[in-house]
């Protein structure tokens, strides 16, 4: 018996489609097993078959989807997106605009745009994916992926309230899957939720979520998997924001050990050394900061990381008063800064630190040059009503005070104080709320300049405003110091100790001139306060709580709240130092504070 040609053609088409369906299934298996090269070879085989003989559009669309995923995973985002869009077009022609199979393809297009940092388009396609799943009443892992991805986008954009809404919906979807839910879904959820909690300053909560993720990954992959390294980086960041320096270094070292054993992720090694260097700098361990920075440079990192390593080296050598190496690494950083990959605030901080050091070494021309360069960067980036502008005006005030140009010094201190007291910064928030230490620096500097003016002229009219400046700022800082992060407390204490000494001198001078006994009382009060200035900020809250009958759980809540405030302050500072600071994130952090 001989089949009619039409029947034979139908059988051939069925065989072809079945062969392609088998190939697609194998592609998915190899892709899930991380055998991307073999998966791509199978995809090429599928396309070769289709080039010789036409396949059903639905099968062709599925093959395009499988290949598009591979391209996205390989970071070939533009090609991957084009392939996935072609799959979408074929699926719509075969089915309809709401067919469930479109959801996964939309989600992967979103991932492609996400990797390209086009967050608006990423969010658009994640939303298309979730809308189709909801329309088809499909609650499961795919809907979990869509909502989680939308939450991640909002978190990156600094829209943390919206991110929490998406994450809460993701949790509902996760719970709806039931007891057979894949543990990796749970791990992904808690890892991202933990990061979001950390970015909101909820450090204890963030750690709890990350611990859940770590337990799942350890059980499934073992302790040397790259996922464990990434978790340790997150834990290091959390500890850093909580000023737990030793823990932060420990976590970063654990991550580093894993990255070093995996050539695929060797690019993360210098970035982790940079983290270790930055933490060591903050801890005042300058020799260790130098060691980690130099180790990071051995991996020939890309320019932005290299610049930051040079910057850390320069600042560490400044702290060690090694002028030769300070200049060496400062100049290396300066050579790279024209690359356009270094954020303006990062450069500002290095320029100001270098100018401070040059002033200390009596290289006054170099000092003035870099204060002015920092000022120009600030004006270009943030304008003349910003906290950064006020801070560098104070620096110039101290510069002229050091060079005995008292009138110029007063001009700069007055200009700085005018910015602090009259103009909001670029976010619309009064800068003294955010920078109490710099705010104090301006008033203390003006008081010193006024006293120097008195010493030059013997004009007693300069003493009263000098004393009033100091009394006001000392009273204000006594109130706010307990609310500052730990680093700011230390910086403030460094300023307050000599400020109390000057206040005593001014009060006594005023007593000598006026005979007013209240001035002697003021001097005695300043003397007593100066003895406890270092301890006052760090023990006030704890002592007050311990001296009352406050329950332990309330004390713990107070501790966690202080940790959250410290964390948010550090994140605000870090965001302000990025190449392109997010106004949305800055506003959010300031609102939380």
Residue 76 counted as domain residue: yes
- For residues 266-291, b (16+ Cβ closer than 10 Å) or e, as one string? eebbbbbbbbbbbbbbbeebbebbbb
What is residue 405's predicted lDDT score, i.e. its pLDDT? 94
What is residue 83's predicted lDDT score, i.e. its pLDDT? 94
Whether this prediction's pTM lies above 0.95 is answered by no
Nearest C-alpha neighbor of 303 from the set 338, 256, 277: 338
Residue 65 counted as domain residue: yes
Residue 83 counted as domain residue: yes
What is the domain-level CATH number for residue 87? 1.25.40.10
What is residue 19's predicted lDDT score, i.e. its pLDDT? 84
Domains identified in the chain, total number: 1
Q: Higher-confidence residue: 523 or 398?
A: 398
Q: Higher-confidence residue: 517 or 564?
A: 517
pLDDT tens for 450-501 read: 999 999 999 999 999 998 988 888 888 777 666 665 556 666 666 677 888 8
Under a CB-based contact definition with an 8 Å cutoff, are residues 49 and 57 in contact? no
What is residue 580's predicted lDDT score, i.e. its pLDDT? 54
pLDDT tens for 18-67 read: 888 898 888 888 877 778 788 888 889 888 888 888 878 888 898 999 99
Under a CB-based contact definition with an 8 Å cutoff, are residues 95 and 101 in contact? yes
Separation between Cα atoms, residue 281 and residue 316, nearest integer Å: 7
Residue 156: enclosing H or E segment and its boundaries? helix 141-156
Under a CB-based contact definition with an 8 Å cutoff, are residues 294 and 328 in contact? no
Separation between Cα atoms, residue 468 and residue 473, nearest integer Å: 9
What is residue 431's predicted lDDT score, i.e. its pLDDT? 43
The length of the chain, given as a count of residues: 593
98 phi and psi angles, rounded to 5 deg: -120, 15
What is residue 141's predicted lDDT score, i.e. its pLDDT? 87
Token pair of 561, please? Answer: 């709240």
Structure confidence at residue 542 as a pLDDT band (50, 70, 90)? very low
Structure confidence at residue 266 as a pLDDT band (50, 70, 90)? confident
| Mean pLDDT calculated for residue range 200-222 | 84
Token pair of 496, please? Answer: 């307050």
What is residue 426's predicted lDDT score, i.e. its pLDDT? 45
Q: Give the gyration radius of the chain's Cα atoms.
A: 31
Separation between Cα atoms, residue 229 and residue 266, nearest integer Å: 12
Q: Which residue has the tokens 């963030």?
A: 206
Question: What mean pLDDT value characterizes the chain?
Answer: 80
Structure confidence at residue 532 as a pLDDT band (50, 70, 90)? low
Token pair of 92, please? Answer: 């719509």
End-to-end CA distance of the chain: 85
Separation between Cα atoms, residue 580 and residue 588, nearest integer Å: 16
Residue 333 counted as domain residue: no
Of 45-59, 254-268, 420-434, the poorest mean pLDDT is in: 420-434
pLDDT tens for 296-337 read: 999 999 888 899 999 999 999 999 999 999 999 999 988 887
Under a CB-based contact definition with an 8 Å cutoff, are residues 423 and 470 in contact? no
What is residue 421's predicted lDDT score, i.e. its pLDDT? 81
Residue 105 counted as domain residue: yes
Residue 276 counted as domain residue: no
> Whole domain around residue 18: which residue ranges?
11-136
Q: Which of 49-58, 225-234, 402-411 has the highest mean pLDDT?
A: 402-411
What is residue 540's predicted lDDT score, i.e. its pLDDT? 38
Under a CB-based contact definition with an 8 Å cutoff, are residues 163 and 155 in contact? yes
Residue 462: enclosing H or E segment and its boundaries? none
| Mean pLDDT calculated for residue range 418-434 | 56
The string of DSSP letters for 483-529 reads GS-HHHHHHHHHHHHHHHHHHHHHHHHHHHHH--HHHHHHHHHHHHH
> Does the pLDDT of residue 441 top 90, yes or no?
no
pLDDT tens for 343-396 read: 666 788 889 999 999 999 999 999 999 999 999 988 888 788 888 899 899 999
Separation between Cα atoms, residue 422 and residue 26, nearest integer Å: 68
Nearest C-alpha neighbor of 103 from the set 70, 59, 147: 147
What is residue 136's predicted lDDT score, i.e. its pLDDT? 92
Separation between Cα atoms, residue 456 and residue 462, nearest integer Å: 11
pLDDT tens for 84-104 read: 999 999 999 998 899 999 999
Percent pLDDT > 90 in the chain is: 33
Nearest C-alpha neighbor of 357 from the set 339, 369, 346, 344: 369
What is residue 7's predicted lDDT score, i.e. its pLDDT? 41
Q: Which residue has the tokens 């070292």?
A: 253
Residue 340 counted as domain residue: no
Residue 26 counted as domain residue: yes
Long-range contacts of 48-54 (CB under 8 A, 24+ apart): 49/16, 49/19, 49/20, 49/23, 50/20, 53/12, 53/16
C-alpha 409: how far from its chain's center?
36
Token pair of 266, please? Answer: 């060797």
Structure confidence at residue 435 as a pLDDT band (50, 70, 90)? low
Of 74-88, 404-418, 503-517, the poorest mean pLDDT is in: 503-517
Token pair of 288, please? Answer: 């260790």
């Amino acid at each position: 018996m001989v089949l009619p040609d039409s029947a034979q053609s139908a059988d051939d088409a069925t065989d072809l489609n079945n062969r392609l369906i088998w190939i697609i299934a194998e592609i998915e298996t190899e892709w899930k097993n991380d055998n991307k090269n073999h998966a791509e070879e199978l995809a090429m085989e599928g396309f070769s078959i289709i080039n010789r003989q036409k396949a059903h559009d639905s099968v062709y669309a599925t093959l395009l989807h499988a290949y598009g995923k591979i391209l996205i995973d390989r970071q070939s985002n533009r090609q991957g997106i084009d392939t996935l869009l072609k799959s979408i077009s074929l699926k719509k022609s075969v089915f309809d605009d709401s067919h469930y199979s479109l959801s996964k393809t939309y989600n992967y297009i979103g991932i492609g745009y996400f990797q390209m940092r086009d967050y608006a388009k990423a969010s658009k396609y994640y939303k298309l994916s979730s809308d189709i799943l909801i329309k088809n009443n499909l609650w499961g892992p795919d809907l979990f992926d869509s909502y989680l991805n939308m939450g991640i986008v909002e978190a990156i954009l600094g829209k943390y309230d919206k991110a929490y809404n998406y994450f809460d919906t993701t949790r509902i979807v996760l719970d709806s899957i039931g007891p057979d839910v894949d543990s990796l879904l749970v791990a992904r959820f808690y890892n991202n939720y933990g990061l979001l909690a950390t970015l909101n300053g909820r450090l204890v909560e963030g750690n709890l979520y990350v611990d859940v993720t770590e337990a799942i990954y350890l059980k499934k992959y073992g302790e040397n998997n790259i996922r464990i390294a990434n978790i340790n980086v997150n834990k290091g960041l959390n500890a850093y924001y909580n000023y737990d320096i030793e823990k932060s270094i420990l976590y970063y070292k654990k991550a580093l050990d894993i990255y070093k054993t995996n050539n695929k992720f060797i690019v993360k090694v210098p970035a982790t050394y940079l983290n270790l260097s930055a933490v060591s700098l903050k801890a005042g361990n300058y020799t260790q900061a130098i060691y980690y920075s130099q180790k990071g440079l051995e991996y020939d990192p890309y320019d932005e990381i290299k610049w930051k390593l040079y910057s850390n080296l320069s600042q560490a050598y400044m702290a060690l008063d090694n002028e030769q190496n300070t200049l060496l690494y400062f100049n290396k950083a300066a050579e790279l800064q024209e690359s356009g990959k270094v954020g303006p605030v990062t450069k500002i901080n290095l320029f100001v630190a270098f100018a401070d050091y040059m002033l200390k070494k009596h290289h006054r021309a170099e000092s003035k040059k870099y204060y002015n360069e920092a000022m120009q960067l600030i004006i270009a980036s943030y304008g003349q009503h910003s906290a950064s502008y006020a801070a560098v005006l104070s620096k110039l005030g101290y510069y002229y005070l050091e060079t005995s140009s008292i009138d110029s010094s007063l001009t700069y201190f007055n200009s700085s104080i005018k910015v602090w007291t009259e103009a909001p910064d670029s976010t619309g928030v009064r800068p003294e709320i955010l920078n109490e230490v710099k705010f104090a620096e301006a008033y203390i500097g003006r008081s010193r300049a006024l006293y120097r003016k008195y010493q030059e002229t013997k004009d007693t009219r300069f003493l009263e405003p000098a004393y009033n400046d100091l009394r006001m700022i000392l009273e204000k800082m006594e109130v706010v110091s307990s609310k500052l992060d730990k680093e700011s407390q230390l910086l403030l204490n460094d300023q307050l100790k000599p400020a109390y000494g000057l206040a005593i001198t001014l009060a006594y001078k005023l007593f000598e001139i006026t005979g007013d006994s209240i001035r002697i009382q003021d001097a005695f009060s300043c003397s007593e306060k100066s003895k406890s200035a270092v301890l006052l900020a760090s023990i006030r809250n704890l002592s007050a709580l311990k001296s009352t009958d406050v329950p332990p759980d309330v004390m713990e809540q107070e501790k966690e709240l202080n940790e959250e405030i410290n964390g948010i302050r550090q994140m605000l500072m870090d965001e302000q130092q990025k190449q392109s600071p997010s106004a949305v994130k800055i506003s959010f952090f300031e609102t939380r504070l």
